[in-house]
Amino acid sequence: MVALAEQPNHKMVIVVDEDIGVFNEAEVLWATITQTRWDKDLTIMPRVQSVRNWLGDACVIIDATLPEGVPDFPEKTIFPKRSLITSEKGSKASIKLSKQQ
Protein backbone atom coordinates (compact mmCIF):
# COMPACT_ATOMS: atom_id res chain seq x y z
CA MET A 1 0.00 0.00 0.00
CA VAL A 2 2.84 2.38 0.81
CA ALA A 3 4.36 1.81 -2.64
CA LEU A 4 1.13 2.98 -4.28
CA ALA A 5 0.87 6.07 -2.11
CA GLU A 6 4.53 7.08 -2.47
CA GLN A 7 4.79 6.75 -6.25
CA PRO A 8 1.95 8.31 -8.24
CA ASN A 9 3.02 6.42 -11.39
CA HIS A 10 2.58 2.98 -9.83
CA LYS A 11 -0.62 1.25 -10.87
CA MET A 12 0.36 -2.27 -9.83
CA VAL A 13 2.28 -3.87 -6.98
CA ILE A 14 3.34 -7.53 -7.05
CA VAL A 15 4.14 -9.15 -3.71
CA VAL A 16 6.62 -12.05 -3.92
CA ASP A 17 8.43 -14.40 -1.54
CA GLU A 18 12.02 -13.84 -0.36
CA ASP A 19 13.45 -16.35 -2.84
CA ILE A 20 12.27 -14.23 -5.79
CA GLY A 21 14.66 -11.53 -6.97
CA VAL A 22 12.53 -8.38 -7.02
CA PHE A 23 14.78 -6.77 -9.65
CA ASN A 24 14.67 -9.88 -11.86
CA GLU A 25 11.65 -9.45 -14.14
CA ALA A 26 11.73 -13.10 -15.22
CA GLU A 27 11.52 -14.33 -11.62
CA VAL A 28 8.73 -11.90 -10.72
CA LEU A 29 6.79 -12.91 -13.82
CA TRP A 30 7.36 -16.60 -13.03
CA ALA A 31 6.02 -16.11 -9.50
CA THR A 32 3.03 -14.15 -10.81
CA ILE A 33 2.15 -16.79 -13.40
CA THR A 34 2.72 -19.88 -11.26
CA GLN A 35 1.78 -18.81 -7.74
CA THR A 36 -1.08 -16.33 -8.11
CA ARG A 37 -4.57 -17.67 -7.56
CA TRP A 38 -6.41 -15.12 -9.69
CA ASP A 39 -9.71 -15.60 -7.90
CA LYS A 40 -8.17 -14.96 -4.45
CA ASP A 41 -4.86 -13.10 -4.77
CA LEU A 42 -5.90 -10.00 -6.68
CA THR A 43 -6.96 -6.81 -4.89
CA ILE A 44 -8.24 -3.82 -6.85
CA MET A 45 -8.16 -0.62 -4.86
CA PRO A 46 -10.37 2.15 -6.26
CA ARG A 47 -9.81 5.87 -5.68
CA VAL A 48 -6.10 5.62 -4.81
CA GLN A 49 -4.57 7.91 -7.43
CA SER A 50 -5.70 10.91 -9.39
CA VAL A 51 -2.51 11.82 -11.26
CA ARG A 52 -3.58 10.53 -14.68
CA ASN A 53 -7.32 10.67 -15.00
CA TRP A 54 -7.36 8.86 -18.35
CA LEU A 55 -5.90 5.76 -16.63
CA GLY A 56 -8.48 5.79 -13.88
CA ASP A 57 -7.79 6.09 -10.18
CA ALA A 58 -7.66 2.39 -9.26
CA CYS A 59 -4.54 0.36 -8.47
CA VAL A 60 -4.00 -3.38 -8.18
CA ILE A 61 -2.06 -5.54 -5.73
CA ILE A 62 -1.14 -9.05 -6.87
CA ASP A 63 -0.16 -11.60 -4.22
CA ALA A 64 2.36 -13.81 -6.00
CA THR A 65 3.62 -15.48 -2.84
CA LEU A 66 3.61 -19.24 -2.42
CA PRO A 67 0.06 -20.28 -1.49
CA GLU A 68 -0.20 -21.57 2.07
CA GLY A 69 -1.56 -25.02 2.71
CA VAL A 70 -1.00 -26.32 -0.81
CA PRO A 71 0.67 -29.73 -0.52
CA ASP A 72 3.28 -30.74 -3.08
CA PHE A 73 3.52 -27.29 -4.66
CA PRO A 74 6.15 -27.56 -7.42
CA GLU A 75 9.59 -26.17 -6.77
CA LYS A 76 10.84 -23.09 -8.55
CA THR A 77 11.72 -23.87 -12.15
CA ILE A 78 15.13 -22.80 -13.37
CA PHE A 79 15.23 -22.40 -17.14
CA PRO A 80 18.47 -23.23 -18.95
CA LYS A 81 20.12 -20.04 -20.22
CA ARG A 82 20.09 -21.41 -23.77
CA SER A 83 16.27 -21.47 -23.60
CA LEU A 84 15.89 -17.83 -22.61
CA ILE A 85 15.20 -15.24 -25.27
CA THR A 86 17.86 -12.56 -25.13
CA SER A 87 17.59 -9.25 -26.93
CA GLU A 88 20.07 -10.59 -29.51
CA LYS A 89 18.00 -13.73 -30.16
CA GLY A 90 14.81 -11.66 -30.28
CA SER A 91 16.31 -9.30 -32.86
CA LYS A 92 17.44 -12.20 -35.04
CA ALA A 93 13.98 -13.79 -34.82
CA SER A 94 12.31 -10.50 -35.80
CA ILE A 95 14.58 -10.09 -38.81
CA LYS A 96 13.97 -13.68 -39.89
CA LEU A 97 10.19 -13.24 -39.59
CA SER A 98 10.20 -9.98 -41.54
CA LYS A 99 12.15 -11.63 -44.39
CA GLN A 100 9.56 -14.44 -44.57
CA GLN A 101 6.66 -12.03 -45.02
Question: 81-90: long-range contacts at Cβ-Cβ below 8 A with a sequence spacing of 24 or more?
Answer: 84/26
Q: Which residue has the higher pLDDT, 8 or 64?
A: 64
In this prediction, residue 45 carries a pLDDT of 85
How sure is the predictor about 87, in pLDDT bands with cuts at 50, 70 and 90?
low
Residues 76 and 24: their CA atoms lie apart, in Å, by 14
Chain segment 18-59, per-residue pLDDT in tens: 989 999 888 899 899 888 999 999 999 887 766 666 667 788
Answer whether residue 93 shows pLDDT above 60.
no
Answer whether residue 101 shows pLDDT above 60.
no
Class of domain 2-100: alpha beta
